[in-house]
Chain A
Amino acid sequence: MATENTQTLTRQDFVSDQDVRWCPGCGDYAILSQVQKLFPTLGIPKENFLIISGIGCSSRFPYYMDTYGFHSIHGRAPALASGAKIANPDLSVWVATGDGDAMSIGGNHFIHVLRRNIDMNILMFNNRIYGLTKGQYSPTSEVGKITKSTPMGSLDYPFNPPQLALGASGTFIARTIDREQKHMGPILEEAHKHKGTSFVEIYQNCNIFNDGAFSDLTEKETKAETQLVLEQGEPMIFGAEKNKGLILDGSNFKVVKLGSHYNADDILKHDKEDKNLAMLLSEITYNPELPVPIGILYQETKSTYDDMMTNQIEEAKQKNEADLEKLFSGTNSWVVD
């Protein structure tokens, strides 16, 4: 569907006339910038983008993009996006959501859209906090989180978003970080290319209510030791010296040092189509012993709900004529004259 139009699109074409109102220093800016950079390169006419959000700081996203957009109600963006995509399958549908929006009030819609595999891209800005309501803990906050609503520390165990997505039969599950701009761009592009529901968890710093939540992962001094950058087919090696790797010890990961005992060939290679591996990778988010995986954790090719619905309708149209009068009459009509 590329028109002449699409070739000349630039980043500026996707910048709306609204002032961006996130706090200075908020990680949301970086995500906005990457999306504005990506859209003109996708070969899609500008009018075919539709961005849908729920409620939260992150959900202000559509206002800042000069595309069709819908800022809906708390937690419901995946449902609204489902209806829009089914109504017009030509649209490129994107959902911007937060950890509270998607995992808490909208948890039900989140799991069901993944299960159905409706073709859309869900970008979840995970700051592990409720930003817009001024700093309560969220379903991704670590246990013991001290916030205004949990002065003695939160009691509930967090969700691990990729694991939840995998459990819900997600077909594209990835993670990236606001500060890793070079990593985020290609991940978003892959999410777009994937047919089906793509889920991208984006670690995002809320510098007002949860500053530094991901600093281990983003600070120069530590990030090489804490990030595991997944590359398809490549061994899972990390560390400033590239001297650590993951192997399987029974059915768990173990970190080993490359050198005398192990070399690169002994290290597990990433295979994004291996669901068991994806399960293990998605498990390790909160484990201080292990690095945090970023990249595409899992991807699977599966028919999409929207395609299947289109096919069913085509099939029905082939089989039965759309004759309203016949339908009205049913099988037991009679005439009075």
Chain B
Amino acid sequence: MSTVKKNISEVDGATIRFAGDSGDGMQLTGSQFSDNTAIFGNDLATLPDFPAEIRAPKGSLAGVSSFQLQFSNKDIHTPGDDLDVLVAMNPAGLKVHLGELKDNGMLIINTANFTSKNIKLAGYDDNPLDGNSLDGYQVIKVDMTKLVATALEDLGLSSKLKARSTNMFALGLLYWLYGRSLDSSINFIQKKFAKAPDIVEANLKALNSGYYYGETLEVIKTTYRVNKAKFEKGKYRNIMGNNALALGLLTAAQRSGLDLYYGGYPITPASDILHYLAQYKSFGVKTFQAEDEIAGVVSAIGAAFAGNLAITATSGPGVALKSEALGLAVITELPLVLVNVQRGGPSTGLPTKTEQSDLNQAIYGRNGEAPMVVLAAATPSDCFMMAYESCRIALKYMIPVILLSDGYIGNGSEPWKIPDVNTLPEMETRIYKKKEGYAPYNHGNPDLARPWALPGTPGMEHRIGGLEKWEETGHVSYDPENHQRMVELRQNKIDIIARDIAPAKPFGKESGDLLVIGWGGTHGAIRSAVETAQDEGMSVSHLHLRHLNPFPKNLGEILVKFQKVMIAELNLGQLSTIIRSKFLVDAVGLNKIQGKPFTQTEVYNEITKLVKGA
């Protein structure tokens, strides 16, 4: 066979998705392509999506696992809306995802899995590869499984094991399609399977055969190049939100000179934070996998009392269990950070899907007047800074903090500019060792922080607990006026923090027709939509809130400068309700609650409607 000459087309970017059965290795394939893309120098954003069941019935629609990414030579914010390329490893993957493939988009299919059984399982009456239902796409049919089996003929592996390398064939083919080097994946395979040389060989062979298949055969006539994006100078890596979050917590501990204590109970999609922290033992990190979420947070409160930087992470159902203990942290005024990587609710809800429906729970979800600081990370890499910021506030003000993330940014990844640790904000603690004049509930400082006297410090023995405290002494008190004072003091502590957080600054003009407000993981879709609208001359700005309690001090001033305010969130309007009641603005909601992030088109369409009144 001679190499066929092909066209190379330069494009600004692409959105591709790998889809197949849970057992097809789509998550690995996608993350490999992402790392390769990052190293190559494109900007990128990813969207992994997998079923809640570890082994959903093979071939079923419920068992489809997919990984989408957008990469570009420009600054991008989302994993993309419609697909340029869909790789479908089985009929179910095709059925679930075909709707999002652009007209004339490329559809790469592993025909081996289009057996009559799988076709039925996917709910097709007839084989979709026959007939004309796929007209209008560039369909590339490849029997990947068979080609891999042939390439691995000489290896003494079972056919089952051989078939497991098929995803590497698809990966190799996509590398070829975008003119990529295979190096990053070769390194990865060699490291990952170092203990099983024949598996290394099988995967490398499959990867190569995918690549050569593209190069040698005439089926794909055009390949694509996406040039490097312009990044600020610096060192970068591709990072997932949960990983960035764990690093932010660790960095806060290191900078404050405290040991990090993590108490928690596994729950999707927050478990990875525990997994990462458990790897940081050489930094003195202590991770405690508790018997339940209650023990997780309560043990963290114990660790905070004893002087550690105390963390717990969970998702909505876990926060529900922790609520009583959060009240204890509020009344004992201990530094504590609770991370909620949100998922679809209520109850067990949609464990592996994203949602922003726990804002009310974070702000209001405790008995009594029990305000907590609430922050939200906007993107995967922002999880680092917001974790750090959460710890900073908790320690400086002696207060529990809730940090909201979500499944979308927790599992999604993007390039992260690695920070210079020394330029991060200072960490301040309230550790107190002076016996004279010590009173456990002395709030005589502008930050209203009480002193942190750690067990083991001579002469400062004291008792705290969940009963109302007398100001100063911290003794139990049922005095009516004192209770009012303490309730107000705990609220004042929150209000005071507004002085110490970055003022809100809209992206775009400071006034205009429309302000789009968002919080948390919707940042990318909103930003992209607003950019497009701005390019088209619409008078629209984007304000993304990272501090939800307290709000930035200047929020009210900004709101009145716009004709209309739209609040986009993945719930039925939780932030809208708060902002409407607090600032009496007639904000319009854009709400979606499908377990999926906004597409930029959805946000864009709503912007157009509000600006143009169409």
Contacts and interface: CB of A to CB of B under 8 A. Distances in A.
B237 interface: yes
A2 to B, nearest CB: 13
Given A70-B464, A91-B455, A313 B286 contact: yes
A76 B295 contact: yes
Interface size bracket, B side = 35 or more
Given A45-B458, A46-B458, A332-B184, A69 B325 contact: no
B282 A87 contact: no
B60 interface: no
B455 A48 contact: yes
Interface string A307-337: 0010011001101111011011111111111
Given A68-B461, A108-B295, A86 B288 contact: yes
Nearest to A68: B455
B459 A47 contact: yes
Contact of A84 (B38, B234, B247, B306): B306
B306 A50 contact: yes
Interface in B215-252: 231-239, 247, 250-251
B282 A90 contact: no
Contact of A47 (B231, B418, B460): B460
A108 B292 contact: yes
B237 A334 contact: yes
A267 to B, nearest CB: 41
Given A83-B299, A334-B237, A108 B306 contact: no
A73 B291 CA distance: 17
Contacts of B306: 50, 83-85, 87-88, 91
A275 B302 CA distance: 32
B282 A84 contact: no
B254 A329 contact: no
Interface size bracket, A side = 35 or more
B464 A324 contact: no
A73 B331 CA distance: 12
Interface string B422-465: 00000000000000000000000000000000111111111111
A79 B302 CA distance: 8
Interface in A190-248: none
Interface string B257-298: 001010100000000000000001111111010111011001
A68 B467 CA distance: 16
B233 A337 contact: yes
B326 to A, nearest CB: 10
A66 B458 CA distance: 12
A299 interface: no
Given A83-B301, A109-B295, A324-B421, A88 B463 contact: no
A63 interface: yes
Interface of A: 5, 16, 18, 45-50, 52, 55, 62-63, 66-73, 76, 79-88, 90-91, 108-109, 112, 309, 312-313, 316-317, 319-322, 324-325, 327-337
Interface of B: 35, 38-39, 41, 184, 191, 231-239, 247, 250-251, 254, 259, 261, 263, 280-286, 288, 290-292, 294-295, 298-308, 310, 324-325, 328, 332, 418-419, 421, 454-467, 475-476
